[in-house]
């Protein structure tokens, strides 16, 4: 059943943020079966907004939950009192984890979509810390449908041999984040071939956004890349404070020195490495990926969907030879496009369909949990157990929600199902179904 959903976000303006943020927000509006109202807002909620008119509130990852500048304390108080389902998307989860957990508890969030893999998410957002929260894993981005409609040039007709735009990420995020800029420095150090047209940078003044970014990527035969995420989790903000203080006093200190002094014992204790949305963008535009060794969420197959670049650049000569082979690049771009870009499992539509199903499930689960206070714990568990055994979940939820069957009748049915033979169970099940 369609629900009324308020999506609270910080939508990019003037094309000065990554396309992936807008793609994510727009996909929820475009593909959801629910009625979505997008509120791009910072600080206080608008005075005329009554959030209690909605069934569900989604807080998008473009809103930093632990900072009151994104959602004010007054607004968080309203969220706390909101009786509907509260869903939170989160990224950049490597910073101020404890504060984020505190705010999730404060607003009484019900559902969290996290970039931590299933093997990690329960370690970070444990039931001990967040007893009412259910967590689901998702990627940082998916294949934007709009890119599949762009007619791209053949590899041989593209003017740029190698492209890349990254950022110099703070050192306190660890080695994985450091690679986003270090790959540029290493390329310039190890690659002396002047016949390639190379356009790579991590300087802020060289950043490219919006349509210009798409044109840039589509004009490139290949693009460099690393895994998204970080290898150090800063739970308290203490690491950030110590390292930034040290860098002010020692502005020329290398990453290696800082890593040895502060980070080495924290490196890769938690796993937060993912395929980057830029990998999906490149594949959709039939631009070949040259990536550092990594897992890439188990989606990309090395030497089939991308060219593997050793982190010590020991195989760089082999890579340069392949970059100059247009036929080789064209074939790799074609395979990646067919197997990844056209794979519906990596589309935004498929992802939002999954989100809708989770919202429906959690919404119904929350409604049935509300009735728990009307029963003893043993009584309620008996109802749930028998409902699961005989697949009567939907029927019992319906009757509880609409008050068609009072408490003693539900308990009577549960006892009958438990005590009598399978034939009678089938008859009662059928009677309930059509009652």
Transcribe 250-283 into DSSP letters: -TT--HHHHIIIIITTTTTSS--EE--HHHHHHH
At 385-399, the pLDDT tens digits run: 555 554 445 544 444
**CATH class (in words) of the domain with range 4-137:** alpha beta
Structure token pair of residue 206: 């060289």
- Reported as a single tens digit per residue, the pLDDT across 303-314 is 999 999 999 999
Which one has a higher pLDDT value, 136 or 12?
Answer: 136
Q: What pLDDT, on a 0 to 100 scale, did the predictor assign at position 340?
A: 98
Residue intervals in the chain for CATH 3.40.50.2000: 148-230+271-346
What pLDDT, on the 0 to 100 scale, is given for residue 37?
95
Q: With H, G, I as helix, E, B as strand and everything else as coil, classify residue 192.
A: coil
Instruction: Decide: 131 and 190 in contact? Cβ < 8 Å.
Output: no
Using alpha carbons, list the distances in angstroms from residue 198 to 161, 164, 221: 6, 9, 10
Confidence of residue 366 (pLDDT cuts 50, 70, 90): confident
User: Which pTM does this prediction carry?
Assistant: 0.82
Q: Give backbone dihedrals phi and psi of 111, rounded to 5 degrees, phi first.
A: -135, 135
Residue 405 has pLDDT above 50, yes or no: no
Which of the four pLDDT bands, split at 50, 70 and 90, describes residue 1? Answer: confident
| pLDDT at site 19 | 84
Nearest to 215 by CA among 152, 148, 154: 152
Task: Give the pLDDT confidence score for residue 296 in this predicted structure.
Answer: 96
Cα gap 66→88, rounded to integer Å: 12
Residue 333 carries which DSSP code?
H
For 56-127, where are the alpha helices, taking DSSP H only?
73-81, 97-106, 118-124
Assign 403 a pLDDT band (cuts: 50, 70, 90). Answer: very low
Residues 6+ apart with CB under 8 A from 162: 187, 196, 197, 198, 199, 200, 220, 221, 222, 223, 224, 290, 323
Q: Copy the structure tokens of residue 150.
A: 């762009």
pLDDT confidence tier of residue 193, bands split at 50, 70 and 90: confident
Q: How many CA atoms lie within 13 A of 366 on its CB side?
A: 20
Strand 111-114 versus strand 85-89 pairing type: parallel
Return the higher-pLDDT residue of 222 and 393: 222
pLDDT over 70 (residue 291):
yes
Mean pLDDT of 364-385: 61
Query: How does the average pLDDT of the chain come out, rounded?
Result: 88
Query: Residue 323 pLDDT > 70, yes or no?
Result: yes
The arithmetic mean of pLDDT across residues 162-175, rounded, is: 95
Q: What are phi and psi of 37, to 5 degrees?
A: -110, 120
CATH number of 148-230+271-346: 3.40.50.2000
Where do we find the tokens 């919404």? 363
Q: Is residue 425's pLDDT more than 60?
A: no
């Amino acid at each position: 059943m369609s629900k009324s959903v308020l999506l609270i976000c910080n939508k990019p303006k003037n094309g000065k943020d990554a396309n992936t943020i807008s793609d994510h927000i727009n996909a929820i509006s475009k593909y959801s079966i629910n009625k979505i109202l997008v509120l791009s807002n910072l600080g206080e909620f608008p005075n005329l907004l009554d959030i209690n008119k909605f069934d569900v509130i989604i807080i998008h990852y473009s809103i930093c939950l632990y900072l009151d500048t994104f959602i004010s304390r007054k607004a968080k108080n309203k969220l706390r009192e909101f009786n509907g389902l509260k869903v939170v998307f989160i990224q950049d989860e490597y910073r101020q984890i404890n504060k984020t957990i505190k705010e999730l508890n404060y607003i009484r969030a019900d559902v969290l979509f996290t970039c931590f893999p299933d093997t990690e998410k329960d370690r970070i957002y444990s039931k001990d810390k967040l007893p009412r929260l259910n967590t689901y894993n998702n990627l940082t981005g998916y294949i934007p449908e709009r890119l599949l409609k762009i007619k791209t040039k053949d590899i041989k007709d593209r003017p740029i041999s190698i492209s890349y735009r990254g950022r110099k990420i703070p050192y306190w995020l660890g080695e994985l984040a450091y690679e986003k800029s270090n790959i540029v420095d290493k390329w310039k150090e190890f690659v002396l071939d002047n016949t390639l047209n190379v356009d790579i940078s991590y300087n802020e003044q060289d950043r490219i956004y919006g349509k210009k970014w798409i044109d840039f990527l589509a004009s490139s035969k290949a693009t460099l890349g690393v895994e998204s995420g970080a290898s150090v989790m800063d739970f308290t903000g203490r690491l950030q404070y110590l390292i930034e203080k040290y860098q002010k006093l020692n502005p020329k200190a290398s990453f290696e020195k800082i890593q040895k002094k502060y980070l080495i014992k924290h490196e890769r204790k938690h796993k937060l490495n993912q395929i980057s949305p830029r990998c999906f963008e490149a594949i959709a535009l039939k631009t070949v990926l040259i990536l550092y060794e990594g897992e890439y969420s188990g989606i990309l197959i090395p030497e089939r969907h991308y060219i593997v670049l050793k982190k010590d650049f020991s195989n760089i000569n082999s890579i340069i030879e392949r970059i100059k082979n247009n036929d080789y690049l064209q074939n790799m771009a074609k395979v990646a496009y067919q197997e990844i870009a056209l794979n519906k499992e990596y589309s935004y539509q498929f992802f939002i369909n999954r989100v809708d199903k989770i919202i429906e499930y959690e919404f119904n689960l929350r409604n049935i949990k509300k009735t728990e206070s009307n029963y003893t714990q043993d009584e309620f568990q008996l109802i749930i157990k028998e409902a699961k055994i005989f697949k009567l979940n939907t029927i019992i939820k319906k009757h509880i929600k609409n008050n068609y069957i009072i408490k003693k009748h539900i308990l009577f049915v549960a006892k009958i199902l438990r005590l009598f033979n399978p034939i009678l169970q089938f008859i009662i099940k059928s009677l309930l179904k059509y009652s």
